[in-house]
Amino acid sequence: MNLFSLMRQFTIRFRMLGAIAVVLVLLGLLGGAGMFGMFRIYSMSEDFMNSSFQEVGYMAQLHSEMGAIRQYEKDMIIGYEKPEAVKAAHTKWLESQENAKKVANQFLQGEEDVDNAVVRDIIKRLDSYKEAFAHVARQLEAGGYDTATIANRMSGKAVAEFAEADKLMKQLDEVLRNEVQKSVAEQQGVSNQTKWLFALAVLITVVVVVPLTLLNMHSICKPLDQAQRLAKAIAGGDLSQSIRTEGRDEVADLLRALDEMQRGLGTLVAQVRDASGNIATASQEIATGNQDLSHRTEQTASNAQAAVSSLSEITATVQQTASSSQMANQLAASASTTATRGGSVVAQAVSSMHEISASSRKIGDIIGLIDSIAFQ
C-alpha cells in the first residue's frame, strides 16, 4: 500500500486535523528553537552583566583607587614640611588602600576564574607596598626628612611593589579583555547556532508540510475530479462508466453513492425498456384487432347491403302480394256470386291466404332483423 492509498484510509476531516497538528508541532519546533537560542543568549548576557561587565567596573574603580594611592603618596612626599598636610594625605592614603582592597575583594566573589589569581597577587603587592611605605609615612608625619628627594628615595622599595601591582593591573586588564572577547565570541557562536537551528527547523517544516499538503490535496482533488466526470456522464445518459472506489474518506463515500445511483438508474432504465416493449406488443395487438374489426365492419356493411337488397325484393314481393290481394278481393267479390260453383276454388283460395299470411309473418321477422342490423 502506497502513501496515497494509506492516506485515503482516513477521512478528510481526520487528515486536516492531522495536518493542523503537524503544523502546530513544527511551529512549536520553530518557536522552541528560537526561544532556546534567545534564552541561551539572555543567560550569557546576564552572566556577562553579572561577571565580566561588573569586573570591568571594578577594574575602573581599582585603577581609580590605585591612582589615588599614588597621588596621596606624592602629596605626603611633597608636603613633607607641613605635618598637618602630610597627616591629612596619610589618612586619605590609608582610606584609598582600604577602598582598593575592598574593590579587589569584589573580584574574588562568585566562581573561581583566571582573574582571581591575578587579583590575589595585586592584593599581596598592595599589602607589601602599604607595609613598605608605612615607615616612610610615619617619618613624613614626624618631619624626619629634610628634603622630598630623601623621602622619595626612602620609598623606593614601596614604589617597586606598587609598580609590580601596576603591572599586575595591566595583566588583569588583559585577562578581563580576553574574558569579554570570549563572552562576545560565545554569544556570537550561540547566535549563529540559533540561526542554523532555526534554518534547520524551517527546512524541516518545508520538507514535511509541503509534500504532505500536496499529497493531501491530490488525495482530495483527484477523486473529486473522478466524481465530477462520473456525474457529468450520468447526467448525459451514459450509465456504462466503470467506478473504482478505494479508501474510507468522504470522497470514497461519494463515489460509492454515485455507483449505487448509476446501478439504480440502470435498473430503472431496464424496467422502462421492458415496459416499452410490452407497450409496443400491446399496440401491435391493438392494431391487429383494429384491422380485424375494420374487416368485420366491412363484412357487416356488405351483409347490410345484401339485407337491403333482400328487403327491396321482399318489398316488391309484398307489393306484388298486395296487388294479388286486391285481385283476390275482386275475385272474391266475383266469386261470391259464384260460390256455389267454386267450392273447390274457394278452398284453394283459403289455402293461398294461409300461405300469404305465413309469408307476411316472415316478412315482419325479416324487417325486424333488418331494423336490428341497421341499429347496430
165: exposed, middle or buried (Cβ count in 10 Å: 0-12, 13-18, 19+): buried
* DSSP symbol at 147: S
| Residues 84, 239: Cα–Cα separation, whole Å | 124
Cβ count within 10 A of residue 295: 10
* Set of cell numbers at residue 154: 626612602
- Measured between alpha carbons, how far is 236 from 303 in angstroms, rounded to an integer? 59
Round to whole Å and give the CA distance between 55 and 49: 9
The one-letter code for the residue type at 347 is: A
> Closest Cα partner for 215 from 25, 21, 19?
19
Nearest to 331 by CA among 313, 315, 350, 316: 350
CB atoms within 10 A of CB 255: 21
CA within 13 Å, CB half, 145: 25
pTM of the model: 0.48
Q: What is the pLDDT of residue 69?
A: 92
3-state secondary structure of 51: helix
- Alpha-carbon 302 to chain mean position: 87
Alpha-helical regions (H) of the chain: 3-8, 12-47, 53-78, 83-107, 114-142, 148-154, 156-235, 250-336, 343-375
Distance (Å, whole) CA 232 – CA 225: 11
User: Tens-of-pLDDT digits for all 376 residues of the chain?
Assistant: 566 677 777 787 777 788 788 888 888 887 887 787 777 777 777 776 666 678 888 889 999 999 999 899 999 888 878 888 888 999 999 999 999 999 888 888 877 778 888 899 999 999 999 999 988 888 888 888 888 888 888 888 888 999 999 899 899 888 888 888 888 888 888 888 888 887 888 888 888 888 888 877 877 787 777 778 878 887 877 777 777 777 677 777 777 787 778 777 778 877 877 877 777 777 787 767 667 766 776 776 576 576 557 656 756 664 675 565 576 457 656 656 755 675 675 567 657 777 777 777 888 788 788 877 877 6
Q: What nine digits make up the cell of 204?
A: 524541516
